[in-house]
Structure 1
Amino acid sequence: MSNVLTYKGYFATVEFDAESCLLCGSVVGMSDGVYFEAESASEVERAFQNAVEDYLAFCNEKGKTPEKSYKGSFNVRINPDLHRAAAMAAAANKESLNQFVADAIAAAL
């Protein structure tokens, strides 16, 4: 079971809002806010797809390049000692710190 939807390279999470009795979702991994809601589980995927299509149409109308979820770049704030240890381990493996971190994330998943 998952509360993550995908469509055209966009990802969204969905939660139940008990106060409004609606399924509410938002596209994740980008700074532009794209939100949607549905009254039932059978409607939520279509609501998400419509929200993405509306976003793409809006960007086209405004001449804006649409953002994509998860561009492959993110900032991580860690303890300086951990940063140093990771950088040293990467150097010992003759790889970049980015590659070291990517490999560690892949191993954890």
Structure 2
Amino acid sequence: MISSLMEYNGYHAKVEFDQEDQIFIGLVLGINDSLNFHGESVKELTQSMHDCIDNYFDYCKKIGKEPERDFHKA
């Protein structure tokens, strides 16, 4: 099955391919904060998504903010 969605730690992202730059671009859905990531391969894209979400948690903890949760977790 082919899907343009990825999931990590309860967050979901839409993935598109930028033909001009030859990279995959991901956008985390369901939250107001803007979380984006990219990669040249599926492996790189997956790692980039994991890093993006993990960094978001770290940043929220650092500033004392509760991370927004994906609408699927409401």
TM-score where L is the length of structure 1: 0.63
1:58 positional shift: 0.5
Report the identity percentage.
35
Indicate the structure with greater helix content: 1
- In structure 1, runs of 5+ residues without a counterpart are 73-109
Indicate the structure with greater strand content: 2
Aligned to 1:47: 48
What is the alpha-carbon distance in structure 2 between the residues aligned to residue 8 and residue 60 of structure 1?
Answer: 16
What is the alpha-carbon distance in structure 2 between the residues aligned to residue 36 and residue 7 of structure 1?
Answer: 13
Instruction: Report which structure shows greater RCO (CA 8 Å, sep ≥6).
Output: 2
* Alpha-carbon displacement from aligned partner over 1:47-66 (angstroms, at most 9, x marks no partner): 11110001111100000000
Aligned to 1:103: none
Computing the radius of gyration from Cα coordinates, the structure with the larger value is 1
Aligned to 1:64: 65
